[in-house]
Structure 1
């Protein structure tokens, strides 16, 4: 049907060169020359619209405002067009299709002067397709990819003019396509200018594979992405591991406690840990005790105020608040006001840069081999999942490996006990009192997993056979 229509067009157009135009009867050669010039002009138009699509939609929204602030030419036009990306896309597609269809019609007319209708259709189709593919698509789009920002600034004012020139047609298709999208359940993905977190993670992993990022850089970037989804409870030093000083202690006793614990700052409490009244710094203790020039220095005089924050507080907000208040330590409380633990500036820093180890301190995750690690009980499950590329679940009741083990066991566990989750073996290596201090985690080998699945399938088949 399509070829017969084009054939009819070719037959009818064969007589165009005898029709007077503005009082001048054009020859076949004259019509051909004009047609070739028009085709060249339309190929440029096709390249313009194709490259515009790549340039405008490859340019991230975060890069537009800086261009506007710098006063770069075309930046305001880009911002105006990108405010309605769906309409921008319709503008480009309408312009591109008008150019390509017109080009095809003109080429069919010209070729029809020299060939029979059927041959004219084939020659025109293959010829125009080749020209458009090379000069209207591939080359312009390649240029736009390499010069996204510059080309976007060049084409944006022209696209604004095209949008005004074809306003009725563009408006019609704009609303028609929106209606069709609603009927078909299409989403407004074109309007989501920013990258999602999953896309950024994939870019980071690709960067590591391509050698652009090393492993440490990748881990730091991934921790940064995870930072604003972390809460104080996940990074705090738990109550059981807290060292603290009674408000009734002397300065000398406080210094001894700081030295014994290995910390430069310790919380001070009255009556018990649920009533922390502040923090003392060993620097202040030593300075006033040894060089203060007085013998009646009391601990109460050296206590600095601190914050009490809920365990659900976002660490991104907490870091901002601690920097604003110039605090190095805050106390974490639960919904009942009971002290759950403490968070230091070092804890927050480690969430981004990784563990900062001192002296003989062990790394929280130690690789035994490629498939096995030993981890401290307080290590976050997400870190273990990332280290071993596994998928242990995280729940509201627990965030750590110790919490996961207790949740799966449903009771206190003893040293040497093992549990299994989807082929992942977890063995409790060290227990102190009721606390899990260390566990060994082994992920299943890929070959073993496939073999077990195959055996499971064979068993099911045998079972079905026996049942039959």
Structure 2
């Protein structure tokens, strides 16, 4: 549509309506009809702007797994949506070219219409701010909100019209597609600038947001976060340490093995030759009792009931270890250090507890007892990560230790006794109990600002050193 020169009365007051001669393609059109046509075109363009804006949100918010399910279910339009998303760069260029064309056209046409009644400067100003408001409300905000709420259904609805727009605008799309790829190549930017992705940190942030909004419960959030930590956990962090391992010598009788299992409360125990550094397998109390009571041979040896086990380094990733143990149908693996010395044992239950939390049996105590919002009592073998999460503090892990007991020994640099305390970065740790040389429990207290200042003053007056 072209607007040919028109005449106005130069002496007319600003904004006064005067007879106009409007020629479009050589035909004279009454002013009111011309204004009505222009308004209709602008409304149509606003609709197209809403279409392209909502298309961008719907197309790039539709998750790949959901799209695959829609295709599998044979939903109408799903195949076309997949075809469009298979070339996301072309899809984005199509949407951007269409959206910018209609928005610029709206501004140009509205400026021409307003120039019939006001000066050109006023027409430009009114058109700029007026069209901006219309586009923001009806071409961006409202349609994008609708697309977010109805991503799947809207993506299926607009797929065919969007494909049609690609055919109509093909020359422009090809041209700008090429230009954007070249610019991205020169500037070092990725060519797939529109690719939708999320990082692990973003997913964890979404989980925390979900808890704040009440969509996810606290225990669900904790479990999801433990799953994310699971593949970064090593065997040494989840194993039962050597000091707590109950095992039996290979020279023992079946009756002695059953008694050891019953007294320890374990269904499976390692069997060693000579010392715990030479574990040869595992025995199961179920096999021991069955073969003792129902076996064919009266003089049954323990050797016949020993099942093979797996020896893994302490740095073994538990994600990989769990997969191997499931494949080999093993319940217990032996953890060894770089010298081949037994460091401890790790069971399937130990690894599952990393995800679902501690599974207590019988008279077992909670590994972490919450005293108040700023204080807890933790068993010595509790991992530092668990203490940090419980109190929202930041105690560090070292290469030589992962537990709260290891942290205390590392900071003190010597054996400690019950009642001794040390401070670190606004946290006070007090040894609650010690068995022989082993720290069995510690109280961890997060200091308030006032307590931290008092502590800092006391250390300054008393000289250097963290232990008291």
TM-score by length of 2: 0.86
**Pick aligned residue for 2:116 from 113, 117, 127:** 113
Q: CA deviation at 1:183?
A: 7.8
In the TM superposition, what is the alpha-carbon distance from 1:355 to its structure 2 partner? 0.7
Distance 2:148 2:303 in 1: 66
Shift of 1:228: 1.7
8 Å CA contact 1:55, 1:152 repeated in 2: yes
Which residue number in structure 2 is paired with residue 4 of structure 1?
none
CA distance change for structure 1 residues 392 and 289 in 2, over 3 Å: closer, same or farther? same
How far apart, CA to CA, are the structure 1 residues paired with 2:191 and 2:381? 42
Deviation for aligned residue 1:173: 4.1
Secondary structure of the structure 2 residue equivalent to 1:49: helix
Write out per-residue CA displacement over residues 85-111 of structure 1, whole angstroms, 9 at most, x where no aligned residue.
455433322221111110111111112
Deviates further, 430-439 or 276-285 = 430-439
1:61 aligned onto 2:59: no
- The structural deviation recorded for 1:286 is 1.2
Out of 408, 411, 432, the residue aligned to residue 408 of structure 1 is 411
Comparing 48-57 with 89-98, greater Cα deviation is found at 89-98
Q: CA deviation at 1:214?
A: 2.4
1:326 Cα deviation after fit: 1.9
What is the CA–CA distance in structure 2 between the aligned matches of 1:156 and 1:453, rounded to whole Å? Answer: 66
1-structure distance, mates of 2:444, 2:350: 24
Q: Aligned-pair distance for 1:229?
A: 1.7
Aligned mates of 1:411, 1:183 — CA distance in 2: 60
Q: Which segments of 5 or more consecutive residues in structure 1 lack a partner in the other structure? A: 1-8, 456-468
Judged with a 3 Å threshold, the aligned counterparts in structure 2 of structure 1 residues 422 and 380 are, in CA distance, closer, same or farther, namely same
2:336 maps to which residue? 333
Alpha-carbon distance change, 141 to 13 in structure 1, aligned in 2, over 3 angstroms: farther
Kindly tell me: are residues 407 and 94 of structure 1, through their superposed partners in 2, closer, same or farther at Cα, counting changes over 3 Å?
A: farther
User: Residues of 1 paired with 2:353 and 2:89: CA distance?
Assistant: 43
Determine the C-alpha separation between the residues in 1 that align with 2:357 and 2:377.
17
2:336 aligned with 1:321: no
Aligned counterpart in structure 2 of residue 19 of structure 1, from 23, 26, 51: 23
What is the 5 A alignment of 1:72-87? 72-83=75-86, 85-87=88-90
- TM alignment of 1:268-347, pairs within 5 A: 268-347=271-350
CA distance in 1, matches of 2:46, 2:293: 86
SS class of match (1:327): coil
The residue that corresponds to 1:362 in the other structure is: 365
- Of the three residues 418, 422, 425, the one matched with 1:419 is 422
Structure 2 match to 1:249: 252
- Identify the residue that residue 238 of structure 2 maps to in structure 1: 235
Q: Deviations over 1:61-105 (max 9, x none)?
A: 343332233233333444444455455433322221111110111
Structure 1 residue 185 displacement after superposition: 7.8
Structure 1's 232 and 79: CA in aligned 2 closer, same or farther, altered over 3 A? Answer: farther
For residue 434 of structure 1, what is the aligned residue in structure 2? 437
Relative to structure 1, is the Cα distance of residues 411 and 125 closer, same or farther in structure 2, using a 3 angstrom cutoff? same
Distance (whole Å) between structure 2 residues aligned to residue 161 and residue 447 of structure 1: 68
Structure 1 residues 13 and 182, CA, compared in 2 at 3 Å: closer, same or farther?
A: farther
Q: Does 1:204 align with 2:222?
A: no
SS in structure 2 of the partner of residue 331 of structure 1: strand
Within 2, Cα distance between the matches of 1:182 and 1:412?
61
| CA–CA separation in structure 1 for the residues paired with 2:6 and 2:39 | 15
CA distance in 1, matches of 2:274, 2:223: 41
Supply the distance in 1 between the matched residues of 2:359 and 2:456 (Cα, whole angstroms): 44
Matched-pair contact (CA < 8 Å) for 2:4–2:24:
no
1:138 paired to 2:141:
yes
Bigger drift between 129-138 and 116-125 goes to 116-125
Conserved 8 A contact 2:311-2:334: yes
In structure 2, runs of 5+ residues without a counterpart are: 9-19, 458-468
Secondary structure in 2 matching 1:392: coil
Inter-partner Cα distance in structure 1 for 2:214 and 2:208 = 10
Decide whether the 8 Å contact of 2:3 with 2:22 is kept in 1.
no
Contact (CA 8 Å) 1:10, 1:112: kept in 2 or not? Answer: no
SS at match of 1:19: strand
Q: TM-score when scaled to structure 1? A: 0.86
Residues 13 and 222 (structure 1), Cα distance of their counterparts in 2 relative to 1, 3 Å cut: farther
Classify the secondary structure of the residue corresponding to 1:234: helix
Shift of residue 250, structure 1, vs aligned partner: 0.3
**Relative to 1, partners in 2 of residues 1:30 and 1:69: Cα closer, same or farther, differing over 3 Å?**
same
Equivalenced residue count is: 445
Q: Helix, strand or coil: the match of 2:222?
A: helix
Question: Cα deviation per residue 1:390-410 (whole Å; 9 max; x = unaligned)?
Answer: 111223332211222222223
C-alpha distance after superposition, 1:16-57 (max 9, x if no partner): 964352x64333334323322221211111001111122223
**Deviation digits for residues 286-312 of structure 1, max 9, x if unmatched?**
121123254211111111122222222
In structure 2, the partner of 1:34 is: 37
User: 1:3: which partner in 2?
Assistant: none
